[in-house]
């Protein structure tokens, strides 16, 4: 089992009103349009970021980083995404810090 989980916070543009997304992933093939397949946990973060962006109070990056930091994420690196204005911020947190999924089943305890 891994000790760490990672996420990449990417921006959509280089402007002050840039949109930020975390671990946004797409599945596609040569014959189909891309379909977003982002995990629910990261979709929830991205929905929060969209609300921040809709407030039109810029920049939103400090608020985005505060939201992630409150959930145990630590900024460890930045990276060039290879596109104009493309930037990625790499974050990690211990797997144990991940919030429990709603409806997750508890393992039965063994009495001794």
Q: Which CATH class is domain 4-97?
A: alpha beta
pTM of the model: 0.74
**Would you state the pLDDT for residue 109?**
43
pLDDT tens-digit map of 43-62? 999 999 999 999 988 888 89
Q: Where are the domains of the chain?
A: 4-97
98: DSSP letter: S
96: DSSP letter: G
Name the more confident of 82 and 36: 36
The full DSSP string for 33-64 is EEEE---HHHHHHHHHHHHHHHTT-S--HHHH
Residues 78 and 88: beta-carbon distance below 8 Å: yes
**Which phi and psi angles does 39 have, rounded to 5°?**
-60, 150
pLDDT band at 70 (very low <50, low <70, confident <90, very high): very high
């Amino acid at each position: 089992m891994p000790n760490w989980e990672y996420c990449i916070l990417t921006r959509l543009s280089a402007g002050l009103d840039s949109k930020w997304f975390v671990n946004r992933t797409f599945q596609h093939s040569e014959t189909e349009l891309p379909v977003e397949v982002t995990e629910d946990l990261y979709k929830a973060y991205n929905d929060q970021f969209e609300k921040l962006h809709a407030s039109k109070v810029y920049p939103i990056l400090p608020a985005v980083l505060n939201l992630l930091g409150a959930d145990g994420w630590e900024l460890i690196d930045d990276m060039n995404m290879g596109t104009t204005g493309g930037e990625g911020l790499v974050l990690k947190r211990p797997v144990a810090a991940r919030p429990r999924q709603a409806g997750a089943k508890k393992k039965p305890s063994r009495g001794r």
